[in-house]
């Protein structure tokens, strides 16, 4: 089952979406609700949902900014809800690669149809990612991150920037702004040329650097987490296991075990 989180400041709408849809019947489990953007950001970090349904205009933190911040740490799909039919909001939603942009009042039937399509896409994307990982178990990030492999100058510069500053908090939004191109353009070209989203590429690079540090046998796991740009230790362990099928601690134990053989 895929996990869905609803972030909406209007109680009637939030509860309506939460309890009028039979989530289990369409392959989801409702993992949580949030009444404002700040609470929503905390819930996304804590629950790591597969899908976030979010209003735009909310107190403390609007939906667009909440999603932008959350995507720097968590991988998920988003559906944007709003009663403000303005192009600027639609443009921002597109730049965040939102799966759908729905106007209020939202039709339950329409939302269910969107969720079913999204469910199929997520499963397909996960299957493709798994096949890619199985095909590339060696994690050849050195070849992957070689700028000689890419033609688009913005993609090349983005990779150079990422490799230089991977220990810092660096997002595709900040790189796009520095390069003077739109986020949507850079995201699209990055995926076309590398076969990865920017976040996947960055995490893969960071994990490879973490493996090198762990191999040295000098640093503790929490130190390696900080040294490779993961400010949250638990998040580091989750990402490390996603790409290596092993926790950092197990990686060290297996390495020590192999050295004794």
**Domain CATH code at residue 117:** 3.40.50.2300
Rounded distance between C-alpha atoms, residue 232 and residue 219, angstroms? 16
Is the same domain home to 112 and 197?
Answer: no
At residue 258, the pLDDT reads 45
Is the same domain home to 165 and 102?
Answer: no
Q: Is the pLDDT of residue 6 over 90?
A: yes
At residue 143, the pLDDT reads 63
Rounded distance between C-alpha atoms, residue 126 and residue 121, angstroms? 8
Is the same domain home to 125 and 20?
Answer: yes
Task: Report the chain's mean pLDDT, rounded to a whole number.
Answer: 84
Q: Would 104 be classed as within a structural domain?
A: yes
Choose one of 131, 150, 184: the last residue of a domain: 131
Q: Would 118 be classed as within a structural domain?
A: yes
Buried b / exposed e across 111-126, counting CB within 10 Å, b at 16+? bbebbeebbeebeeee
pLDDT digits (tens, 9 = 90+) for 167-182: 988 899 999 999 999 9
At residue 261, the pLDDT reads 41
What's CA 200's distance to the chain center, in Å?
Answer: 8
Rounded distance between C-alpha atoms, residue 225 and residue 247, angstroms? 12
Number of domains in the chain: 2
The pTM of this model reads 0.51
Q: Would 136 be classed as within a structural domain?
A: no
Q: Is the pLDDT of residue 41 over 70?
A: yes
Q: Would 238 be classed as within a structural domain?
A: yes
Angle at 24 (CA atoms; ends 4, 100), nearest 5 degrees: 40
Q: Is the pLDDT of residue 217 over 60?
A: yes
pLDDT digits (tens, 9 = 90+) for 119-156: 988 877 766 665 455 445 445 565 667 777 788 999 99
Domain extent at residue 66: 2-131
Choose one of 81, 96, 131: the last residue of a domain: 131
Is the same domain home to 206 and 245?
Answer: yes
Is the same domain home to 146 and 123?
Answer: no
């Amino acid at each position: 089952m895929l996990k869905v989180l609803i972030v909406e400041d209007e109680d009637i709408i939030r509860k309506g979406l939460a309890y009028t849809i039979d989530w289990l019947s369409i392959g989801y489990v409702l993992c949580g609700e949030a009444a404002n953007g700040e609470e929503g950001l905390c819930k996304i970090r804590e629950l790591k949902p597969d899908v976030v349904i979010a209003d735009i205009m909310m107190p403390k933190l609007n939906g667009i900014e909440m999603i932008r911040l959350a995507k720097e740490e968590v991988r998920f799909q988003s559906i944007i809800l709003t009663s403000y039919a303005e192009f600027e909001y639609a443009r921002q939603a597109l730049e965040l690669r939102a799966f759908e942009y729905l106007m209020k009042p939202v039709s339950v039937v329409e939302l269910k149809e969107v969720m079913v399509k999204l469910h199929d896409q997520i499963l397909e994307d996960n299957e493709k990612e798994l096949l890619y990982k199985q095909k590339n178990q060696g994690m050849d990030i050195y070849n992957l991150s070689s700028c000689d492999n890419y033609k688009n100058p913005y993609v090349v510069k983005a990779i150079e920037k990422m490799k230089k500053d991977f220990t810092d908090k660096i997002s595709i939004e900040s790189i796009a702004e520095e390069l003077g191109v739109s986020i949507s353009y850079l995201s699209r070209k990055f995926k076309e040329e590398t076969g990865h989203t920017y976040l996947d590429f960055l995490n893969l690079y960071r994990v490879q650097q973490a493996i090198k540090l762990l191999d040295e046998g000098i640093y503790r796991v929490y130190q390696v987490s900080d040294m490779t740009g993961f400010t949250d230790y638990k998040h580091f362990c989750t990402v490390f296991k996603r790409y290596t099928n092993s926790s950092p601690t197990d990686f060290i134990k297996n390495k020590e075990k192999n050295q004794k053989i």
